[in-house]
A and B are shown apart, each in its own frame.
Chain A
């Protein structure tokens, strides 16, 4: 009975993520439009876009190999699983033991690897440009991510996310410099990983400035739908990650009442809403940086992560 209940919870969370992801994208877009004094599309527009793409025929380039066709499924699966590993409203789910930060980084790395390969596969110049820029970003974003994982694991004594979240809920965490540095680093990595301004512009039509969009320029139909959904899931993943590590309040722990779960979901939704608002505000107030400034931006994230970890070697109370 308990086992079934747990699996239901886990399945429920996975479905919830899938359903929520386009809504989050729509929420950020609507907020950005309203900050520009535009009316903006409906919150449901991303769902309609996905449905439209799913119904459309797939147009394949003559030069596309099997890899190009398989990649969207692999990317989507990897990111969905990674997103499902992040505790959202409950910190104890059956997959918790596998909800390892390093596993999540690895899954995201896999998705990125296939996306870059797919960008190169069709042989257009834009795919190549996008893939090379993406790899430049990844070469700095991934170490930065790992550095902040080390910082957290030094503090919590584990890389398992639900344990980290439970640790963060305890009173003896307090205010720590290392955590502040890790938070900053994670935000910077999240911006770069999700192709947001100032690193990339998800709304641009200028093919020469694209990173993520350049790699997926050749995709259409259901392939594009999967990639778009994966991108939405990734944004959701990073916001959930920020919520679960740095603002875990409201999250239910094992063996609580049904009302506690409802409260957990409500708290989670509130966190997402706030995260989306902050993202929209930030993106509206800043211009995109030069491509060659991205490495400085991410080097700063890497240094912050490194500094956080080093501080903990100096003193566990920092």
Chain B
């Protein structure tokens, strides 16, 4: 354990006014370095690292005390002490800061560009935003040396209809010696678009960062906007948000459990799970008017109230899934040929999971018991009964089973919410802040914890918003998971992670 608590270290810095609900401190390079040492010693977990003109921000979470805080280091010289030098999970985030803002990490082990492939009309879009003057040199993949090794480049255009990403395998026959990812092909410049946007437009934009997690993203943004403006949301809105979040989790888990099995050519599971997912989407449309529940969670509450008929549709949905799902679990468990593919495949070391602060099913299948719904206990999860499933096998089979358990938990949560749903209004107008204010939100999406940092101008428009997808800390672990596996097992490992390209590339 680190000698000093996170609180004590941060307190040495300059607290920033109007940063809610957790504090932010402007720190000196000394404090910054102490924080890095703490990260490297696993005293606390890295939640996010992002930049803006002349400033880098580091969000950390101390598990023991539950303390969550942001440290901001001014960078007058355009550079900051590298976090990735001592704490590898920060490396890609630093490379992104260098690409987007132009702040350089000093002594960083890896200074290759990450999101910027040299094809944008602008350099440092969140910083100086100048036109590119030089062409970027070709990307250098890490060297792998040894006899009879060969490279297999896969993507960014794949044979199936999936998102683009490049995977560079170095293999010895079938055995993978190294996998290196290259992402950034779906960079949409969302952070630039958010600058100066009204809250309404910003909420829509954030809801489109990663389409499969639209509720979770919209929830993160709404919670941040409400915290910044100190707006109290009606109780019914909190409950309806949780209901939507669980429906989203349920739909994604059902779809993905089938898709993982399909990657082992077991199409039967996919066919049945796709039917389940479709039922969930239709019930969502009946209850809230949108199959994926896009733009239903808005700052100030929710955009659609649930009618009495909606409640009964969702109740029969839960009953229907409870009827069908156990048979599918039995099918999965009893198909030996399928178990042969998933068990012991794509093992991730639990030490790596803890080091990377990896959340979601990848983290919990490897023994890291972090779930923002429980750890932070935001409403209404503080009064709902649910368990956080935990496993230690950390392979493809473990991740599938973890999601099966989470489906059961989500069903129980939906039932509880439908039973106890308070009545009343579902939306209030946001207060106009009057002066600049900031906030941080952390919510649990189906994939893991989504961090969102927000700064509002006095007129209520967005000054800067940074959403951090859970995939940032999952993609690097996929590189580790495939080591020692064979090339043909990669799709199975990849699908069991199901990282978001869109959320990562932003």
Contact = CB atoms under 8 A, between A and B. Distances in A.
Interface of A: 32, 35-38, 125-126, 128-129, 132, 197-198, 201, 203-209, 217, 284-293
Contacts of A32: 267
A38 B154 CA distance: 31
Interface string B454-494: 00000000000000000000000000000000111111000
B271 A217 contact: no
B335 A287 contact: yes
B159 A217 contact: yes
B263 interface: yes
Given A290-B340, A291-B488, A125 B151 contact: yes
Instruction: Rank and list the top 9 A-B pairs by shortest CB-CB distance, nearest first.
Output: A205-B160, A288-B265, A36-B271, A287-B266, A201-B265, A287-B338, A287-B337, A206-B491, A287-B264
Contacts of B271: 36-38
A198 B337 contact: yes
B275 interface: yes
B261 interface: yes
Contact of B267 (A36, A207, A208, A291): A36
B153 interface: yes
Given A208-B488, A217-B159, 19 more contacts: A35-B268, A36-B268, A36-B270, A125-B150, A132-B173, A201-B265, A203-B267, A204-B265, A205-B158, A206-B160, A284-B267, A286-B266, A287-B340, A288-B265, A289-B341, A290-B489, A291-B174, A291-B486, A293-B340
Interface residues of B, number: 32
Interface in B256-274: 261, 263-268, 270-271
A44 B23 CA distance: 67
A198 B337 CA distance: 9
Contacts of A197: 265
B263 A206 contact: yes
A285 B341 contact: no
Interface string B292-317: 00000000000000000000000000
B152 interface: yes
A174 to B, nearest CB: 34
Given A206-B491, A290-B340, A291-B488, A37 B275 contact: yes
B157 to A, nearest CB: 10
Nearest to B275: A37
B137 to A, nearest CB: 24
A229 B233 CA distance: 64
A37 to B, nearest CB: 6
A287 B261 contact: yes
A223 to B, nearest CB: 18
Contacts of B264: 287-288
Contacts of B161: 205
A291 to B, nearest CB: 4
A209 B271 CA distance: 20
A209 B488 contact: yes
Contacts of B159: 205-207, 217
> Which of B267, B338, B341, B487 has the most CB atoms of chain A within a 10 A radius of its CB?
B267
Contacts of B154: 207-208
Nearest to A32: B267
Contacts of B152: 125-126, 129, 208
Contacts of B158: 205, 207
A292 B335 contact: no
Contacts of A125: 150-153
A290 B488 contact: yes
Contacts of A208: 152, 154, 487-488, 490-491
Contacts of B486: 290-292
Contacts of B160: 205-206
A35 B490 CA distance: 28
Nearest to A36: B271
16 contacts: A36-B268, A36-B270, A38-B271, A132-B173, A201-B265, A203-B265, A206-B263, A207-B159, A208-B490, A286-B337, A287-B264, A287-B266, A287-B335, A288-B264, A288-B266, A292-B174
Contacts of A38: 271
A292 B174 CA distance: 9
A288 B271 CA distance: 16
B179 to A, nearest CB: 11
Contacts of B265: 197-198, 201, 203-204, 287-288
A181 to B, nearest CB: 23
Nearest to A291: B488
Given A198-B265, A209-B488, A289 B337 contact: yes
A35 B263 CA distance: 18
Interface in B138-162: 150-154, 158-161
B159 to A, nearest CB: 5
A126 B265 CA distance: 19
Contacts of B174: 291-292
Nearest to B345: A290
Interface string B410-421: 000000000000
Contacts of B490: 208
A217 B263 CA distance: 19
A32 B337 CA distance: 18
A289 B337 CA distance: 7
A203 B265 CA distance: 8
A290 B492 CA distance: 11
Contacts of B173: 132
B493 to A, nearest CB: 10
A284 B266 CA distance: 7
A2 B153 CA distance: 60
A205 B158 CA distance: 8
A32 B267 CA distance: 9
A54 to B, nearest CB: 22
A256 B151 CA distance: 61
Nearest to A205: B160
A288 B341 contact: yes
B84 to A, nearest CB: 29
Contacts of B491: 206, 208-209
Contacts of A37: 271, 275
B340 A289 contact: yes
A246 B335 CA distance: 30
A164 B337 CA distance: 36
Interface string B263-293: 1111110110001000000000000000000
Interface in B322-342: 335, 337-338, 340-341
A246 to B, nearest CB: 25
A289 B341 CA distance: 7
